[in-house]
Every structure is written in structure tokens, then in C-alpha cells.
Amino acid sequence: MATRRSGSSEWSQWVAGGVLAQANQVDDWIAIEPDGNVTVFSGKVELGTGVKTALAQIVAEELDVPFDRINTVMGDTALTPDEGYTAGSTTIQFGGFALRQASAEARQALLELASDRLDAAIEELIVHDGVISVSHHPDRTINYAELLGGKKFQRRITLTAPLKRPAEYRIVGQLIPRVDLPRKISGAASFVHDVRLTGMLHARVVRPPGPGAKLISLDEASVSDVRVVHLGNFVGVVAEREERAVRAAQQLKVTWRATTHWPQQANLYSYIRNQPTTDNVIVEEGKVDAAFKRAATRRTATYAQPFQAHASIGPSCAVADVQADRAVIWSNSQGVYPLRGALAELLKMSPEQVQVIHAEGAGSYGHNGSDDAAADAAILSQVVGKPVRVQWSRQDEFAWEPYAPAMVMEVSGGLDRQGQVIAWQYDVWTPSHVGRPRGKSQLLAGQLIYGQRSSRPQWFGGGDRNAPTNYDFPHQRVTAHWLADSLLRTSSMRTLGGAANTFANESFMDELAAATQIDPLEFRLRHLTDPRAIEVVRAAAQRSEWGTPLPAGEGRGLAFAQYENEVAYVATVAHVHVEPLSGAIRVLRIVTAHDCGLIINPDGLRNQIEGNVLQSLSRALYEEVTFDESHITSIDWDSYPILKFSDVPDVDVVLINHPDQPAVGAGEPATITTAPAIANAIFHASGARVRQIPFTPQRVKAALG
Amino acid sequence: MTSQFTLTVNGQPYSVDVAPDTPLLYVLRNDLGLNGAQFGCGSERCGACTVLLGAKAIKSCKVLVSEATLGSITTLEGLGTAAELHPVQRAFLAEQAAQCGYCTNGLIMTTAAFLWKNPHPTDQQIREALNGNLCRCGTQLRILRAVKRAAELLAAEGV
């Protein structure tokens, strides 16, 4: 395992250290209000995953204040630190690390002030719920608000303030209900969709039929009661009333000329394999070619991952108020500071003149249309000189969001006579999974106004996530073949390449186990040495009653991975039924064992894991973006179906808590093992090996032969 | 082009002057300033916009304002107040049955209408009743538990 990064704790410190170098004052993160309430400023944002609650738990714990005294401000370029993107399951790991350090520093500062005021050594002081008292002198007390008297801390974060030991935790690790849910279940304004400004107009963008289409003609007289905005290929309609904007966007007579000629969808994977690539050997250990030559058994298989959509349940929305010298934009962006830079460029303003405020949206699971909607609202507000709200149509959301990239994975393995893997070769063909807005040309509005997107990716990233396994293979080579561009516009979606790579790796491990006739659980354990990996695999197997007999047509499949090869450990057992005549799959039960180190909030964690399991099950069974020569054809919930309530299996989550280990993210890891566990269960149930996602009845039937 | 329509929403009468083919959703959100019902698809496929018309759950993205004058409309805001939540809302809170919460309105309103008709449903009936509502975050298991809990609360309280 030559490629691993440094330990998670050091890594957290290194990443958060970059943020803390910029926002290096306690006051950047924490304010004690005169009434004793605590305001927390986090540059991370709530994306529906519960981090607002979990981060407040971390502060309440380390600062020693009651949880319900904390108010958290998240993602506002005028108020919060720049913590980059809320992505990659790193909010607790990095954002939590920074807030923990700031809170410990604040507590230390308050202890020093109290030591002075109470005339006692710090060692004699006791802190409880924001009140400091002198040991054995219960009358000598002072609270945080009195100590600060409304002033700021004016203290640098040193990273040396004493931190609590996990054994002392009273708030971290507790099941605390989500702070945002009472508003959401009672209809209080909660989302960017609910932002209403005085004089606000409603707008819709009139999209071309497909990417690259050129505007030929536009008949403004075809609509009334709306303002038509036309900048290059960007066409928008702005109206007093939302339904007028919706109707006008449908009625406006626009002629486009298609310029795109995509290959047939049936040839997508050969197209990907035949693109010019930049190759990057990620792992090279031992003597791979020689090991393959002396292997007793050799196998090769190819797997395919289609384009998939984030498919947020609420189409992207934004509100913008752009004036001559100042702009405020509300967006469900994952990164308010990077978006601010891109919007400033689009609006021809300086970043200091632009404020981006995060407002929650529907779950995005990565980089969806939120940033693009912000650009739409901003440019339209600038043109009409009034606040503008834009919400995309369902069809535009499906047709124009940046997708998770399609990928091809080929794996070869060589086994010795005892069934041990002695040679392993892995190749993945993928575009970059990074397409976030770093300038106007990455925003749809910028592309439409100023010409086509640049095809150059920002950097090759994400497609190699979990391309290496965590198994001990003596001779192995893992290579990423980076495509210069993606056929369809793509960006980051939950786990990036982690899901597709783990689908390939763990399906292939099963194929090798079948070739050796060794039980798939035993086969994996023979190639693992990390005790936490073994523990999580055994936990999933035990809870799923691995190895016990099943009725005909049913099967169990196992998959294991360590997310990003170095953070959370996850093992999944799927239990499925295969209908032999139709090839239809019914997933009966999913067991997922999960070890992300120290657990901050067990119920929030379970909710995240369950969500990952069900969403990844949906992606494995149903989801594929479809297209013809120049159009996206999966544009609604009929043509892009997702999991329905009637098809939800039992999900059993096994939490493994390691309070002595750093808390690492849980927003993604349980996604990556679901598809291979289901594929392996289909094989166990029926002998059919499916190597292409999604596992439609047609594909299963074809694999049944 | 516009006409006057009188609606009863959450027990209050409202008069709006809009085009007859305006979807009820936009009147609720933009004229009445309500937040519960959300736009999801505009084609009755996801349920995010669900409200009650009388005791029936309807998709307000498709029902026109001119069709909504006949009965009393209840939105999420009218189901229970923040101080006194409806048992279905309490059940969703108790089960923490949401992630992003965008679909939550539709699920609570659909559940309220469903349990009113069928106070003692089987698991299978609950799943079928919710099949017109989509959840993308994968919170379905908690939602199913919340519906069962809501049925128990309603039975216990004789609502």
C-alpha cells in the first residue's frame, strides 16, 4: 500500500491548518453574545446532512456551553471564514477540527480571564455550562458573557490549547436531534427557494435544445408581460409573476441550430476506451508482468459506469440582488467563496463587491445546478436592475446539471495454486471529476454568453478515487487513463470515482473467489491485514448471517472498501432475490458495517449511512443518463427513475465506534460498497454476473444467458 | 385576463387576482407567502408540492387556482403550529425522518390524508400510499417508521 497519504489526524491538521492560517483568530469562528448565547461562524454549509448540528456539538463540547445556546452561521462571504467547499465528507474532519481548535482556544482565554477576576489559579477553576467557578468555593463564580462583557476575544488560535479527551465527552457522541428539522417540518422558511425580497421578480432561462446549440433567431413579440433578456446564446425571461415566467419560457419562439453530434449511447463505453488519454500509474508494486506469467489462474473483466444525475428533488434555485456597486446572491452552493469569485468575473465586479450567502436547497450530493442557477439569477438581476429569483424546471435540472462521469474499468488478476492473488492490474478510463466554477467559463450562463466551455479540466481529479484496493497484493499496478474531456458536462458527485472503482474492484474480487471456489468472505479475509478492515468485514458478515442457507433464487453478496483508501472502513452485505424469467432484482436486505473512528452523533451518522445505502442502491438498479445525437433524453422522473418506497429494502447499519481514532467523514463512504454487494448477490443467487450499472432486468436476463 | 378567486387556506379566507390557469402552488407560495409546498417537478411525479384540499392530498403544481375554490385548503403551516405540532409532524420529528427536508412537506401531507382514511395501515399499504412521493436523500426507512409512529400517536390521542 505504497500510495496512502499520511494518517487522518495529521492530514486534518494539515488541511485545516491552511484555513486556520487565514482565519487565525478566535473571533473569526466564535462570538460570545452579551446574553451568553454563542454564535459560531462556519465556512462549511448545511447540505441536508446534519453537519450544522454536529459542528455545534463539537463547539458545545470543547467550549463547555449548553448545546442549545449555540447559533451557527454557515457559508456567508461577509461573515464566515473561507473553508472552500463543503464536499468529500470532510466537514467534520476539517471543519470540525478547526472549530474544535477555536473552541479550545476560546475556553483557554476565558479561563485566563477568570483566573484574574476570581483570583485563583487556572488549575483551581471548574467550567460547567459556560460558568466558571473556583473549586471548593461555589460562591466564587463568573460566566462567559460577564467575562467578555460583549468584547471580542482578540486572541490568536495557537493549536496548543488543551483539548478534552474523548473519554470526557458529554455532548459529542450523543444523539442530539437536528437543529434544522423543527422549521422544516412546520413550513417555516428554510430553503433558498423561500428567500423573498421586496420588488423581487421571477425569471426562467430559455435553454437551447442541447449543449453547443447556437441561437439563430428570437421573436420577442411571441410573449407579452415579460422582459426578454438576450446575451449571446443566453436567453431569459423575467416577469412579475412566477407562472408568467414559466409560461413565457415555454412560449417564446426561439430557433436554435444544433452543433453537437454525440456517438450512439450503445457505443459510449467503446468511445471512452478509444479516447486519447493522459496516463498516470498510481500504484506500481512488485513485478507485475512476471507474476502474471507464473500465475496458475488468470482472469480479466471489464465494468462500466454510466453518466448519472444528482437528480436533486428540488430543482436548482437562486435569488440575486445586483446593484451598480454591490451584489448579494443567495445560493445552495457548496462553496460560497469560489462561487463569489466566479460571479464577480461574470458580473464584471470585484469579489469584495459581491456577497454570496448560503441558503439551503434540496440535497445536492455534489456539484449540481446550484452554482449555475446563481449565475442565472445574478446576470438577470444585473440586466433588469431588480432582485430576481430563478428556479430551474425539472427538465432543465435533468438536462443541464453537471453529471457524474461515465467510466470504464478493466481488472486482471493472477492467482497461485492456493487461490492467493499474486498479480493484480487495474485500469480506469475516466475524465476529471472536478468541474466546479473557478471562473465564468465554468458557469452555464458564462458559457452561453461568452461562448463555449473550455474543454480543459481544472485538474485530473476524482476518477482515481478508490482505484487502488486495500488488499495485500504482492505485485500490482493501478493506472488511471484520464480523458481530456467528458462527452457530457460533468462534475463532482458523491464519492466521485469511488463508487465505480469499488464496483469494479469488489465485483472482480468476487469473480476471483468464484474462480478459486473459496467463499467470498474467506477470500477477502485472506488478503486483509488491517485489523479495522477485518473487524468491519466480520461485523457485516455476522449481522447478515453470512453462510446460512437461503431459498432458491436468493443470494448474498459482500463488498468491502476503505474510503479513499485511508478514511472510513465500510463493508456491505446485500441479500437479493432474482426473478429468473424477467431478470428483475428485488433487494431484500442490506447490512452495512461502518467504522469512521470517533462517532460525533450516532443518530445523525445512521441517517447518513442509511441515506448513502438507499441512494447508491437506486444508482445501482435504476439510474442512467440517456442521450441521442444532440439531446439529453432522460429529462423527468419517468425517463430517469429513482428508488420508490415500494422497493425499499430493510437496511441494517452496524456502527463501530473507535473513540481513540480521529472522526472521519461519513457523508459518502457507505455509497461505494452497495453496487458491488448487490452485483455479487445477484451472482450468488443466479450465477449471472452483471458488469454494467444499472442492473436493469434486461441486463440481468442477458447475463443469465 | 386575470380574475378574482376566493380561497380558504388554513382556515382563513383569501382573495387573489390572478389568471385562472395559475397553478395553486404559485398562489400559495407567492401570493400567500407560504413555504411548505415546494416546486419539484410540475408534473405530479414527486409530491413535493402536496397540500390538502378538504381531506384529500393533491399536487398543487397541477391543480389550478380556479379548481381550488371549492374546498378548504390545508398546507403544512396549517396542519399544526410550531407550538402545537400535528401528530404526523411530531412523528417525523421523533424519528428524525428527514435529511435535506425538501420532500418532507409532501410526505407529511400525504401521510396526514392517508392516515385519516386508513388509521391502521399495514406496512405494504403505507409503502403504496407513499409511492407518489420521491425522496432523493434515502430517508425512506425513517419516513416509513414515522408513518407508523404517527398512526400510533393518532390512535392513542383519538384524533
Predicted pLDDT at A48? 84
Q: Are A302 and A410 in contact (CB under 8 A)?
A: yes
The answer to whether A313 contacts B142, with C-beta atoms less than 8 Å apart, is no
Q: Among B79, B106, B136, which residue terminates a domain?
A: B79
Chain B hits for A650, Cβ within 8 Å:
141
Q: Among B60, B79, B98, which residue terminates a domain?
A: B79
Element (H, E) at A684: helix A674-686
In the sheet with A201-205, reading across from the earlier edge strand, the strands are: A226-231, A234-239, A201-205, A388-391, A317-322, A327-331, A354-358
Could you tell me if B4 lies within 8 Å of chain A, comparing CB atoms?
Answer: no
Q: To the nearest whole angstrom, how far is the Cα of A191 from the nearest Cα of chain B?
A: 8
My answer on whether omega of the bond before A580 falls inside 30° of 0, hence cis, is: no
Check which CATH number belongs to the domain holding B43 and give it.
Answer: 3.10.20.30
Report the alpha-carbon distance of residue B95 to residue B47 in Å, rounded. 21
Q: Verify that B73 and B95 share a domain, yes or no.
A: no
Predicted pLDDT at B82? 76
Q: Verify that B74 and B92 share a domain, yes or no.
A: no
Query: What chain A residue is nearest to B105 in terms of C-alpha separation?
Result: A185
Candidates 3.30.365.10, 3.40.50.300, 3.40.640.10, 3.40.50.20; correct CATH number of A195-259+310-400?
Answer: 3.30.365.10
Could you tell me if A123 lies within 8 Å of chain B, comparing CB atoms?
Answer: no
Q: Name the domain count of chain B.
A: 2
* Angle, alpha carbons A251-A255-A258 (nearest 5°): 125
Residue of B127, B136, B147 for testing the chain A interface, max A β-carbons within 10 Å: B136
Residue range B108-141, pLDDT digits in tens: 999 999 999 999 999 999 999 999 999 999 999 9
Domain A8-172 matches domain A195-259+310-400 at the CATH topology level: yes
Amino acid at A410: E
Amino acid at A196: R
Mean pLDDT calculated for residue range B37-63? 97
Q: Is the sign of the CA dihedral A55, A57, A62, A63 positive or negative? A: positive
Predicted pLDDT at A698? 97
Amino acid at A125: L
Predicted pLDDT at A16? 61
Report the alpha-carbon distance of residue A623 to residue A500 in Å, rounded. 13
Could you tell me if A362 lies within 8 Å of chain B, comparing CB atoms?
Answer: yes
Predicted pLDDT at A438? 74
Q: Are A557 and A680 in contact (CB under 8 A)?
A: yes
DSSP single-letter state for residue A179: T
Task: Rounding to the nearest 10 degrees, give the CA dihedral for residues B58, B60, B64, B70.
Answer: 50
Could you tell me if A191 lies within 8 Å of chain B, comparing CB atoms?
Answer: yes
Report the alpha-carbon distance of residue A136 to residue A687 in Å, rounded. 72
Could you tell me if B34 lies within 8 Å of chain A, comparing CB atoms?
Answer: yes
Burial class (CB in 10 A: 0-12, 13-18, 19+), A3: middle
Are β-strands A354-358 and A327-331 bridged in parallel, bridged antiparallel, or unpaired?
parallel
Nine-digit cell string for A347: 458580473
The answer to whether A177 contacts B96, with C-beta atoms less than 8 Å apart, is yes
Query: What chain A residue is nearest to B37 in terms of C-alpha separation?
Result: A187
Smallest Cβ–Cβ distance between B39 and the set A185, A315, A611 belongs to A315
Could you tell me if A359 lies within 8 Å of chain B, comparing CB atoms?
Answer: no
Report the alpha-carbon distance of residue A477 to residue A480 in Å, rounded. 10
Predicted pLDDT at A197? 98
Predicted pLDDT at A705? 85
Nine-digit cell string for A324: 451598480
Q: Verify that B9 and B27 share a domain, yes or no.
A: yes
Tell me which residue of A190, A197, A204 sits closest to A363, measured CA to CA: A190
Tell me which residue of A211, A215, A239, A216 sits closest to A227, measured CA to CA: A239
Element (H, E) at A250: helix A242-251
Element (H, E) at A449: helix A444-450
Residue range A417-470, pLDDT digits in tens: 999 999 999 999 999 998 777 788 889 999 999 986 655 555 788 999 999 999
Smallest Cβ–Cβ distance between A314 and the set B21, B48, B76 belongs to B48
**Helix ranges (DSSP H) in chain B:** 24-26, 76-79, 87-94, 104-117, 123-130, 140-157
The answer to whether B45 contacts A612, with C-beta atoms less than 8 Å apart, is no
The residues of chain A scoring below 50 in pLDDT are 1-8
Burial class (CB in 10 A: 0-12, 13-18, 19+), A584: middle
Neighbours of A484 (CB within 10 A): 14
Report the alpha-carbon distance of residue B113 to residue B129 in Å, rounded. 10
Residue of B51, B141, B145 for testing the chain A interface, max A β-carbons within 10 Å: B141
Q: Are A675 and A503 in contact (CB under 8 A)?
A: yes
Are β-strands A277-285 and A475-483 bridged in parallel, bridged antiparallel, or unpaired?
antiparallel
Report the alpha-carbon distance of residue A12 to residue A93 in Å, rounded. 6
Q: Verify that B21 and B43 share a domain, yes or no.
A: yes
Query: What chain B residue is nearest to A395 in terms of C-alpha separation?
Result: B41
Q: Verify that B7 and B66 share a domain, yes or no.
A: yes
Domain holding B107, by residue range, is: 87-157
Q: Among B45, B62, B79, which residue terminates a domain?
A: B79
Q: Are A434 and A458 in contact (CB under 8 A)?
A: yes
**DSSP-derived 3-state class of residue A630:** coil
Residue range B10-35, pLDDT digits in tens: 999 999 999 999 999 999 999 999 99
* Angle, alpha carbons A272-A276-A279 (nearest 5°): 95
CATH classification code of A8-172? 3.30.365.10
Check which CATH number belongs to the domain holding B110 and give it.
Answer: 1.10.150.120
Sketch the domain layout of chain A as residue ranges.
8-172, 195-259+310-400, 275-307+403-704
Residue range B68-89, pLDDT digits in tens: 998 999 999 999 987 899 999 9
Report the alpha-carbon distance of residue A117 to residue A111 in Å, rounded. 10
Task: Rounding to the nearest 10 degrees, give the CA dihedral for residues B66, B70, B72, B74.
Answer: -40
Could you tell me which residues are beta bridge partners of residue A410? A302, A427
Predicted pLDDT at A12? 55
Report the alpha-carbon distance of residue A327 to residue A382 in Å, rounded. 9
Query: Which CATH class for the A275-307+403-704 domain?
Result: alpha beta
Q: Verify that B101 and B150 share a domain, yes or no.
A: yes
Smallest Cβ–Cβ distance between A646 and the set B18, B89, B127 belongs to B127
Nine-digit cell string for A5: 497519504
Q: Verify that B91 and B40 share a domain, yes or no.
A: no
Nine-digit cell string for A664: 472521519
Predicted pLDDT at A5? 35
Does residue B2 have a pLDDT over 50?
yes
Neighbours of B14 (CB within 10 A): 15
Could you tell me if B96 lies within 8 Å of chain A, comparing CB atoms?
Answer: yes
The answer to whether B137 contacts A603, with C-beta atoms less than 8 Å apart, is no
Predicted pLDDT at B1? 82
Could you tell me if B131 lies within 8 Å of chain A, comparing CB atoms?
Answer: yes
Residues 584-623 of chain A whose Cβ lies under 8 A from any Cβ of chain B:
603-604, 607-608, 610-615, 617-618
